[in-house]
Structure 1
């Protein structure tokens, strides 16, 4: 199915809900997606209504950008690619309408209604879930250890689905919490083999967490190839994020909506798996 026609968004013309591509939806994430996105849409509506009153425009606009980014990321991770594309387009339009807060708020409310209708439409019907066959990928005797650092519960679940056959997984919801767990692992001698690290997080973002992890390793005499393998994950694919992450010492970088394919590939390249899983986990 082709990309949806989004040219009429600014004028309130949205794609037909029934035209949304459901073929890539990840069934095991659907309930998580619905719960997370429904909550986010409630917050988005509140922020848009507040923006419409023009009381605290900058604060409301910042909230809307943050929530849209979260909905976009969750949609991409869950296989709702048309919703991802629409949110991406709306982010640009919202910035273009910065001097028209009431018009921008109206557009956001329409977006909220459209996404709600998409969820209701999909929930009322049937969609084809992916088939999971037994993986033939080999791991070392005894599972390795991984630390998954991401403030989005749906994204944490997605990473767990992909890597848990090969890794014992610990989780952190902020960069600071992730850094504390990593430091404790060094002190206990039970080090992590892999860290997956989101970029956009509260308290301490992924870039600063990455730098802090490498600094901790250096203080503990761990240098170069002996360091933990760090894979950055984000819904952003801007080149400045990529270059910055590599300069700060990550080994790989994956876009969340491509994680099912790319994360196992990167783990093989880094020597954490011997062969790429033979089943599709998108």
Structure 2
């Protein structure tokens, strides 16, 4: 899953990035509200951590603009003392939660998991299922038919995206934007390499699930019945 951090305190943004990547999330961080809005409008993020007091646009303005554009990505506000009225405004505009600074990494991760569960991206035990496979993106573990193996982060993110989209066809462009970011220099062959890795691992596990290529369109999971 990909998370956007919009935080003008550079040291905090760096610390948050480190914590999230350690927990196997893909992360982008920007440091002003205008950039945060531009990134968030790309639609590639599963969750946004949004500071309230920032240059260019403050957090409530960013959130209001997102909701007006129909972007429903879960948003967790990062707040300091004295910003209670801004929190209320933000919640009224459609924020999903808020965390008061300072906060522990444990609280942060719990709030993120709760927000993602409400969105419906994962089930209660953080495991995604399709057909005879189970993917735990937190621990990067794929299992099927009583066997289990470890995935690398990009493999896990790619399979997670395909599972979440179920029978929908996912294009290479959508995969690049989601896994590498919308301004990435990753190319189609990067996607093809990870698709190949996943196919081999599904075969090794003896799974009936297959990643089918729709020529000129993209990829779709089959065997989920």
Scaled by the length of structure 2, the TM-score of the pair is: 0.49
Bigger relative contact order (CA 8 A; separation at least 6): 1
Higher helix share: 1
Between structure 1 and structure 2, the one with the greater Rg is 1
Scaled by the length of structure 1, the TM-score of the pair is: 0.40
